[in-house]
Structure 1
């Protein structure tokens, strides 16, 4: 009798342990939502403030001001769909554009064949997806299907088109993206008319490889208007942000980027290892707002997000730059995926006075963070703790 009771107790304990283990992953995934519902705010370090010369940190010490988390409760807003083979594994790093008061997404998707393609989605409010197309809307023409170490290290897969950035200039939407084929990752540029885009006639122009010969270019974006009569593009060649100013974005007869490294990493800062342009710049009263990504030499496995303001007439001049990241990979959806510890911005818009930043999380999901634009800019330019809006669940 005693033996039977002991055996029963062992079975009960084992079942309890299994249930506890099964629940642990779910509890981690919903921890942030539960905390927000209870009204408890998490904090991050302050966006920073005025810097003197770029790359110099006053006193060599970090300043630990904090502000309310700007992540949306709805995150992640786009996740892989197993029923669609082409986006069954990963959906991340979205280019976005605001047209007719709606936010349109072109997000990077990787499916069962390991190829990166672009999917389309649209949102009315910027936080919930109204519609998502069941098939890809852009695919880079692959000439060689085999394992590509450069593509695998930049989000997974064997090749294709990666990390789009969208910019509207006149009636044309330009898309800069990273093309991964048999060689080095190259920055490519294509375009589509605004009319065709809205009507979903995916008549893209033939893409042009605009990277300097023999160079790896991992991200790039265009300014939405000319500066002193020149079209300006930001791009990353390790470890800095380069800038090129051109008469046109046509790149005729095999022309390529011929810029220089103008915005550089900062030793002993959170962006000391490498930086790159995230979302295409947004014009503000203080200058061009650039949301960018950075990696710390002392924390090299984690991508973080920062902000800087560039002079409106000379984008090579950094007016303000965040001392600390404005977003770090802390939530479950930024750590449970293809690659842990990633927040990677590719798009941002301003809608009804609210700055909406879209980013890839853990190389697996699309997420959004937001702030009141005026408060965000004031916090950067006046070295004070900003009051950043926390989004509530939208129904």
Structure 2
């Protein structure tokens, strides 16, 4: 399976973007670790809160941050809190922010942390994709590191109904890349889903599309196709956020790239169809600026994980340099005019 995926990758070389930043997210607000009060854990103040997923429901913005309480092992959990979205777009955040931990490491495959949630609502349930940072037993019964694409399903009161992680299957055998992460659902119908995933194939970190079975938690090997590759000035790319439906066959999603020159994370947006095929893409639209965004435990980062459409505004809810949350607000029309029509052969 890995050879087949590598063959698809080699046949997909194209350049669609420029090394250019158009800063459309003018309003920027922050939530720091000091702003949180964790109500269901003996330690009420995390040392870092970042890379959050987000959904909107009944005029409330629900944010699902990655929480860290120690720097020794950097072990992460996922929490949840809610804010009044109308206040946010006007620059107001009520503090302290009462937070509850809803997901933490329990399995070998997530032993080192539950990281970087992307969330979406499906009926009364919440689906969460996250990075399970952990181990598996290799040859000789040795522990080997691996990052997997975790899946958790919660009811409306955040009781965990089930969790596991995705594998790639061709119907006969299964395959797990070195890392699978930075992924999102496009459409979910019963136990079938179309997804955008980030796989590591032959040391290359690339954005792919795939169809998935949510009962068996498998990605269909035949359906997996590359969508977005690093440009020659980039080290890697990945999907950043959940997908936002704009029309019957148009979905907006954030992506990120790590630049070779300074290892900074810069972000843009892409428009895909219901199968994940690329319809339009931007150059960089969001990047760290100034002391609060450039300096942290991992410098020069704005990363993931939530994308929210509210009235005529687009909110990017992301992590800032691995220590705090940033809420970045742009006009939707300003974002859409930066999207360049393209297909899998390049810019149209």
In the superposition, the TM-score normalised over structure 2's length comes to 0.75
Aligned to 2:279: 319
Q: Which structure 2 segments of 5+ residues have no match?
A: 1-11, 136-144, 169-174, 342-348
Measured in 2, the distance between the counterparts of 1:104 and 1:225 equals: 20
Q: 1:351 aligns with which of 310, 333, 344?
A: 310
* Contact 2:115/2:132 (<8 A) preserved: yes
Q: What does residue range 1-395 of structure 1 map to in structure 2 within 5 Å?
A: 55-56=14-15, 66-67=22-23, 69-72=25-28, 75-80=29-34, 85=43, 87-112=45-70, 114-125=74-85, 127=88, 128-129=93-94, 132-143=97-108, 159-182=112-135, 183-193=145-155, 195-196=156-157, 202-212=158-168, 213-215=175-177, 216-226=179-189, 230-238=192-200, 239-246=205-212, 248-251=213-216, 255=218, 258=221, 259-268=223-232, 272-285=234-247, 287-299=250-262, 301-310=263-272, 312-316=273-277, 318-323=278-283, 325-381=284-340
SS at match of 1:207: strand
Matched residues, number: 298
SS at match of 1:366: strand
SS at match of 1:329: coil
Q: Say which one has the larger Rg.
A: 1
In the superposition, the TM-score normalised over structure 1's length comes to 0.67
Task: Tell me the CA shift for residue 83 of structure 1.
Answer: 7.6
Measured in 2, the distance between the counterparts of 1:141 and 1:109 equals: 16
Distance 1:82 1:96, change over 3 A: closer
Task: Tell me the CA shift for residue 125 of structure 1.
Answer: 2.1
Cα deviations by residue, 1:263-322 (Å, 9 ceiling, x for unpaired)? 1324335xx3211111111112482111111112334x2111111111x34422x12111
How well do the aligned residues superpose, as a CA RMSD in angstroms? 3.1
Q: Which has the higher strand share?
A: 2
Q: Which structure 1 segments of 5+ residues have no match?
A: 1-52, 145-150, 152-157, 197-201, 383-395
